[in-house]
Amino acid sequence: MRWKLLRRRLSVSAPRVIVRSHLPWPLRWAVAALVLGFSGALALWAFETGKELAGVDAGLRDEVVRLRAEVTALREERDRAQSIANAADGLLKAERAAQERLTEELRQAQTRQQALEADLGFFERLLPAAGGSRLQVRALHAEAVAPGQTRFQLLLMQPGRSPSPFEGRYDIRLSGMLDGQSWTAGLPAGPQPLQMRQYARLEGVIEHPQAVVLKTVQARITDGDGVVQASQTLTLR
C-alpha cells in the first residue's frame, strides 16, 4: 500500500504541488530596494568617513582655497599689467607725435640754416671798402646746375652810409669754346634794369648749348647813359 502511494507520487500522474510565497512581489521589490539603498548609503558614509579620517577632503578644500587666491592675485596682476600697457601705449603715441614734430622743426631749422649760410656766404664781403665812392661788384659766383644751364649770383654795393640811389642796367656774359671756336653770350633778354641804394643781390639761370666749355663769366653794370660803372670777371676751372 505504501509502495503504491510512493510510486503514485513519483509518477507523472502525481498531483501538482504549488509553493506560494508568503510576501507579494511588489513588497519583495520594495524590500530589495530598501536594502540596496541602505547598503549604498552605508558605503557612501564609509567613503566620506574614510576621506575625513585620511584628511583628503580637508586637503582638497585647502587646495581649492589656495588656487582661488592665486587666480584672484593673477587677475589683479593682469589688470595692473593691462593698465601699465595702456599707459605705456599712450605715452608711446605721444612720444611719436613729439618726435615727428621735432623732426619737422629740425628740418625747418636746417632749411633756415642753409638759407642763412647762403646769405652769409653771399654777404660776407658786404662791409664797405676803405675809400672810394663808386659802385662795386663785391661778389660774383657761377656754377652749372644742369647740362646747358649755369646759375649766377651777383652782389653789388655802394660804399658809404647814405649813398645816392643808382639806376642803370646789369648784364652777365658767358665766354667759352664751342666746337673749337670762341663762343660768347649774354642774358637771353639782354641787359636788365637795376635800381639800388646800398646793395643789391641778383641771381638767375642762363641757358646755353650743352657742348659749350665755359671759361669765364663776366658781370657788367652800366648807368643810364650806358657808361660802365663796375665789372668783374670770374674764371671757371
Sheet (strand 136-146) strand order: 136-146, 149-157, 199-207
pLDDT of residue 132: 46
Counting other chains too, the contacts that 160-163 makes at CB distance below 8 Å and 24 or more residues apart are 160/128, 160/133, 163/133, 163/197, 163/198
Report the percent of the chain where pLDDT is more than 90. 0
Q: Which residue has the cell 671759361?
A: 215
CATH code at position 209: 2.60.40.770
Does residue 160 belong to any structural domain of this protein?
yes
* pLDDT value at 40 more than 80: no
Give bridge partners of residue 151 from the DSSP assignment. Answer: 143, 205
- Range of the structural domain that residue 185 is part of: 136-235
Q: From the CB of residue 190, how many other CB atoms can be counted at a distance below 10 Å?
A: 8
- Whether residue 32 lies inside any domain: the answer is no
Query: Is the CB of residue 134 less than 8 Å from the CB of residue 104?
Result: no
Q: Is the pLDDT of residue 24 over 80?
A: no
Question: 162 lies in a domain?
Answer: yes
Residue 95 domain-assigned (yes or no): no
**Is 196 part of any domain?**
yes
User: Could you tell me whether strands 192-196 and 181-185 are parallel, antiparallel, or unpaired per DSSP bridges?
Assistant: unpaired
pLDDT value at residue 15: 56
pTM: 0.44
Q: What is the pLDDT of residues 99-117, one digit of tens each?
A: 888 888 888 888 888 887 7
In 3D, which of 212, 138, 134 has the Cα closest to residue 173? 212
Average pLDDT, the chain: 77
Count up the domains in the chain and report the number.
1
pLDDT per residue over 134-176, tens digit each?
Answer: 788 888 888 888 888 888 898 888 877 777 888 899 998 888 8
